[in-house]
Amino acid sequence: MTQDRRSQPALFSQIDVAQSQFNSGAHHAGGVQQEMVVILREILAAQDRQNELLEELVGHLSTSQRQRSTELGQWKQANPGLARNCRMAAEALNKVQTEYLENLTHEISENYESLRDGEFMLNEFVDRFGPRLAHLNGLLQVLSQLSSAPNPSNMP
């Protein structure tokens, strides 16, 4: 991306496929084949360029992911006690989330008809369970990322 965009070849090219060329009889079989070869080469060049762009995109994404992973690893090494506490909190909160989901699914089973038929009831249900579930998921994600890797010797 550091190169000047004007120096790069265009991603798309124009191909004239007007029907009048084929109806005029001006092209013979060899000319049509030659034109098809040119078109296929243009398509191949465009695909090559697209592959280069995708490789560059993957490189950028993997670089930022590696950097984030390295930073997280450094944080965990600098804060091993807090990382362990985050793991324990994440495991406890995961149990809370499981119970919450059980309550949620039970509520859905009991009130399926009213949720399906009544917009008011559906809105009340979403208002009651939605924000809490979203925040709970966000907390679990943060705690899981900050927690240390589970120790196999501590696993039941």
Same domain for 116 and 67: no
Same domain for 20 and 88: no
What is d(CA 111, CA 88) in angstroms, rounded to the nearest whole number? 35
Same domain for 67 and 49: yes
- Confirm whether 5 is domain-assigned: no
**Number of domains observed in the structure of the chain:** 2
- Confirm whether 123 is domain-assigned: yes
DSSP string for residues in 3-58:
S-GGGSPPS-------HHHHHSS-S-HHHHHHHHHHHHHHHHHHHHHHHHHHHHHH
pLDDT at 2 over 60: no
- Confirm whether 48 is domain-assigned: yes
Domain residue limits at 121: 80-156
Same domain for 147 and 101: yes
Q: Domain ends where: 62, 78, 94? A: 78
**String of b and e for 31-42 (b: at least 16 CB within 10 Å)?**
eeeeeeeeeeee
Q: How confident is the model at residue 28 (pLDDT cuts 50, 70, 90)?
A: low
Contacts of residue 50, defined as CB under 8 A and 6 or more positions apart, other chains included, come to 11
Same domain for 85 and 116: yes
Same domain for 72 and 92: no
Q: How confident is the model at residue 151 (pLDDT cuts 50, 70, 90)?
A: very low
pLDDT above 70 coverage of the chain, percent? 76
Same domain for 134 and 104: yes
- Confirm whether 23 is domain-assigned: yes
Same domain for 84 and 63: no
pLDDT at 136 over 90: yes
